[in-house]
A and B are shown apart, each in its own frame.
Chain A
Amino acid sequence: MEKTVKFLKKPITATLIAIFCGFLVATVILAASGYNPFEAFGALLGGIFGRPKYISNVIIKSTPIILTGVSVAFAYKMGLFNIGAEGQFIVGAVAANVVGIVCDFPAIIEVPLVLLVGAAAGAVYGGIAGWLKAKYNINEVIVGIMLNWIALYFSNFVCNIERFHKPDSDGTYAINESGFISFFTTWKTTEAAADFVQEHPVIGDILRTDANAGILIAIALTFAVSFLLYKTTKGYELRAVGSNRDAAEFAGINVARNMVQTMLIAGALSGIAAAIAIAGNNPHGISQLSAFESNGLNGLSVAFIAGGSPIGCIFAGLLFGGLLYGGQSIQYVVGAPSEIISILIGTIVFLIALKDMVPVLIDKMGKRGVK
């Protein structure tokens, strides 16, 4: 009993239980609406692992939300709730897209340029929220939500500027190919590639997707953020302010400055997530938005599932991306409404938000066990 209690008390356990319960709820709903849950989850897993290219697509789709997740988790370490990740992502996408269209340098310059401009735009956007919070104590959540909407309409505005708008579409031009970070972009369409694909079905399958360097950048950045948080004086300050502002202040740490810096970095992470999406995947541009694409908002869920750990965001992001991408198979194969996957994710996040209850419940269980 004692051993079980100890195991159950680990934070990861609560997360796993939440995920399991999410599936349980989805099972009930699927069964109640007349679909075979096992078939549905089979389709889900098939949609994630069924073919090499599906795995590749899951990774591609996870990349931006891993980074927005890290952005949220990073700000959260400082005690800030970065709901503005969505807006930071959008302005990052717009900036990366515009620069990628206007500038046409060799890849060695173009790629970093596109990525850095995206990061810079996100940083400025996040910085606004941080500055308002630090200077005037305006709630970063409210500012974030408002900035999200401003970003959405700004994006649509840019999307409709003639210089960028691609005729007969609802999006912009793709950025110049020199800015792509996809693997073998040009080679893929050649005859040699076609032959190669014939001979190597697995690699060929992956090459059919937008497999790109984004995930490597994302992982590198995640480790960099983790390093910053746990190995540097700056990270020490951020965490101190996040866990106990009063003590940090008393120890001579400049709380306001750290707040702005945190939001600059969090914004940059969301911005570069967008830039990676622009440089990495089709359509390499932005589209007219009628609603949020939720790249930033999903980051909140990812950070939640990861329990605020940047490294955890890699796994949570992959899980999330897998559910989102593989989840479409449930509709496609079984015919169940696509909302089922939203319910599944929603339940998981909800239960994880409640997970502080789990140790309490387990404590009770443990006491009962002792009796």
Chain B
Amino acid sequence: MKKWKKVIPAVLMACTLAGCGMAEKDDSVYRVSMVAGTGGINDQSFNQLSWEGLQSFGEHTGADVRVLESKQASDYLTNIDRATDTYSDLVWALGYSLADSMLTIAKMNPDINFAIVDYAFDESPHNCTGVVFRAQESSFLVGYIAGLTTKTDKVGYVGPMKSFLNDQFQYGYMGGVAYAAHVRGCEIEVQSQFTESYSDAAKAKAISNKMYSNGCDIIFHSAGGAGYGVIESAKENGKLVIGVDTDQSHLAPDNVLTSGMKNTNIAVELVSTMAMNGEEIGGNTYSYGLKEGCVGIPEENKIMDPAVYDKAMELQQMIIDEELTPPLSEETYQAFVEGLGK
């Protein structure tokens, strides 16, 4: 028994030293760390896609990339802090919920670059970079497609909850539908409802069932994991659905009309490359949209009318050329609709 008393501290010491070994500074390697949100890096969505982007960046450039998952909101601060301990050159934070924590740590580490997805700084510190997506552009596009495809002239929208970020999806989509109605010279009704959760698939399904029975034949969702309920409902009702974030057609090949993709992986890789190449990215907020290929619809849309796809591509070019600006909030939407009326 006495032996144990000597052995345990010895083992502890050895491991501690081994553990510390990881944090030696090595200038020859570019280090990027990523702190994921509570969804985890297997969320089949935002976090996973972003991490894939960073991994791809690592493969292309030979940079050292790592990830830390957050289990709860109080992990954000400690995880971002830990990421700075390994002499990272760039630290990514995934999601606007991490913004406050990132700012706190960024203040303490002026020499490290920080970047955050889905967050725009009012006044960005010199070592912080925001990356936002013009999700309204892809939403506008899928809204336009929905407006051209609907037979009942009624379409649905299922969102997670009201937020400035989600407004881009909702009003972008509604703007697209309105634009299609304008082109077709008819009225198209949009029914909107919220799940109040990113995970409550059952509620999303109930909402969608209701919408389909109300006469909607296409629903667009931006409810993350809860959105699976919408897709399932479409499958069971034999109706159409529009996916979000990634190409969700594999979930229901006969029902997913298209998807409003948000390619965070491209954005992450883009910004990481810029930073590695020594570009001064701090203090900026980058806004990525159709033009940069960071949002959009898949190239292959099995069940979409090719004519509609062609029209959508025309519209996409108009947006890229800035001939048309999709609405991103209630006010801009109102203005957009009034503009159409004139």
Contact = CB atoms under 8 A, between A and B. Distances in A.
State if A and B touch, Cβ cutoff 8 Å.
yes
A168 B69 contact: no
Contacts, number: 123
B292 to A, nearest CB: 23
B197 A328 contact: no
Given A43-B19, A50-B20, A328 B74 contact: no
Interface stretch (B79-87, B133-141, B258-266, B310-318): B79-87
Interface stretch (A120-128, A224-232, A241-249, A330-338): A330-338
Interface residues of A, number: 48
Nearest to B200: A290
B96 A57 contact: no
Nearest to B66: A332
Nearest to B226: A290
A333 B21 CA distance: 11
> Which applies to chain B's interface (DSSP): helix, strand, loop or mixed?
helix
A43 B18 CA distance: 7
Given A45-B12, A287-B73, A39 B104 contact: no
B100 A160 contact: no
Interface string A35-66: 00011011111110111011001000100000
A104 interface: no
A282 interface: yes
Interface residues of B, number: 48
Looking at A46, A57, A160, the one whose CB has the most chain B CB atoms below 10 A away is: A46
B69 A169 contact: no
B105 to A, nearest CB: 9
A49 B19 contact: yes
B65 to A, nearest CB: 10
Contact of A328 (B23, B77, B79): B79
B69 to A, nearest CB: 5
Looking at A209, A283, A332, the one whose CB has the most chain B CB atoms below 10 A away is: A332
A168 B104 CA distance: 17
A45 B16 contact: yes
Contacts of B7: none
A50 B19 contact: yes
B15 interface: yes
Interface in B65-117: 66-69, 71-79, 81-83, 85-86, 96-97, 99-101, 104, 108
Contacts of B21: 42, 46
Looking at B19, B79, B83, the one whose CB has the most chain A CB atoms below 10 A away is: B19
A44 B38 CA distance: 21
Interface of B: 1, 12, 15-16, 18-23, 33, 38-40, 66-69, 71-79, 81-83, 85-86, 96-97, 99-101, 104, 108, 161, 163-165, 196-199, 225
Nearest 6 CB-CB pairs, A to B?
A: A46-B19, A42-B18, A45-B15, A290-B199, A287-B73, A293-B72
Given A61-B74, A295-B72, A338-B69, 20 more contacts: A43-B22, A44-B19, A46-B19, A47-B19, A49-B19, A54-B82, A156-B196, A160-B196, A170-B163, A171-B97, A281-B74, A282-B76, A282-B100, A283-B73, A283-B74, A286-B73, A287-B73, A325-B78, A331-B67, A333-B22
